[in-house]
């Protein structure tokens, strides 16, 4: 199975921690030149210097905010000019705050839509032509199992993730003739800061301990444990590889079997 990413340039969003960081490491380990992107220069530099370089790659840092459309476009455009075309984009942005959809404002929905769907669309338009010229492109979106089943208490996130999944399916059809694939990875409960925050919020809202909430969440997972960022990153690296050239327009669950009945 050809998993080599030699000669490919990957742009990984939210790469300073969690799933983004783990994805950057996996892609670099498979030979890709990786540009790590987030808002914190210091955190990104720490990740960049730690990335593996099995083929002597030189990795890069790109400081950008997905909520700033023009700023994001300008930063990526300048980066491509200086460091060459991008062949792999991992769209990974922190999820919106929790809460009921009925209590959410229009501004909260707009902010989430800008940070996820519109940011991904900006990036796509910037790198599409270089992917087409190379006859090789991968858009991999880190979304959520809420694409299959909404998650209680994450109203804005559920809504935005669904829109992101539909964007990906539509784009997959349009880009398939050019050797470009578009797929979603749907992490379940994964040991990240996001999961810690969700557990804390549920604990506060229900007057139960965080340990009780963790136990309840674990009871819903057939694998009997939470996932790791590295396990999600394995799916990302496979979808980025030549071996996944015939997989597009799909959403892959990485959730220990929790949403098996809905797949």
3-state secondary structure of 126: helix
- pLDDT tens digit at each of 263 positions of the chain: 999 999 999 999 999 999 999 999 999 999 999 999 999 999 999 999 999 999 999 999 999 988 888 898 899 999 999 999 999 999 998 878 888 999 999 999 999 999 899 999 999 999 999 999 999 999 999 999 999 989 888 899 999 999 999 999 999 999 999 999 999 999 998 988 888 888 888 888 888 998 999 898 999 999 999 999 999 999 999 999 999 999 999 999 999 999 875 44
Report residue 254: phi and psi, to 5°. -130, 80
Structure token pair of residue 85: 């075309």
Structure token pair of residue 77: 């455009």
Structure token pair of residue 47: 């990740």
User: How many beta carbons lie within 10 A of that of residue 22, not counting itself?
Assistant: 23
pLDDT value, residue 96 = 82
User: How much helix, strand and coil, in percent to the nearest 5, is found in the chain?
Assistant: 50, 15, 30
pLDDT value, residue 261 = 53
pLDDT value, residue 263 = 43
pTM: 0.92
Distance of CA 261 to the CA centre of its chain: 24
- CA-to-CA dists, residue 90 to 96, 151, 152, 253, angstroms: 18, 23, 26, 16
């Amino acid at each position: 199975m050809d998993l080599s990413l030699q000669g490919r340039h990957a742009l990984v969003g939210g790469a300073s921690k969690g799933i983004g960081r783990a994805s950057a490491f996996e892609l670099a380990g498979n030979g890709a030149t990786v540009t790590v992107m987030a808002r914190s220069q210091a955190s990104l530099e720490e990740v960049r210097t730690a990335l593996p370089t099995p083929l002597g790659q030189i990795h890069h840092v790109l400081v950008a905010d997905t909520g700033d459309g023009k700023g994001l476009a300008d930063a990526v455009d300048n980066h491509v000019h200086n460091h060459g075309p991008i062949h792999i984009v991992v769209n990974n942005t922190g999820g919106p705050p929790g809460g009921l959809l009925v209590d959410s404002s229009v501004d909260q929905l707009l902010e989430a839509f800008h940070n996820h769907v519109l940011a991904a669309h900006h990036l796509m338009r910037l790198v599409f032509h270089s992917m087409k010229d190379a006859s090789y492109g991968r858009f991999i979106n880190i979304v959520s199992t809420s694409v299959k089943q909404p998650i209680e208490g994450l109203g804005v996130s559920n809504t935005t993730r669904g829109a992101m999944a539909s964007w990906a399916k539509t784009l997959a059809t349009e880009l398939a003739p050019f050797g470009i694939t578009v797929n979603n990875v749907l992490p379940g409960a994964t040991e990240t800061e996001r999961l810690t925050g969700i557990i804390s919020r549920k604990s506060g809202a229900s007057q139960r301990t965080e340990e009780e909430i963790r136990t309840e969440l674990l009871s819903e997972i057939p694998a009997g444990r939470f996932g790791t960022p590295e396990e999600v990153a394995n799916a990302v690296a496979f979808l980025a590889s030549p071996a996944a050239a015939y997989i597009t327009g799909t959403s892959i669950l990485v959730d220990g079997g929790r949403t098996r009945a809905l797949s």
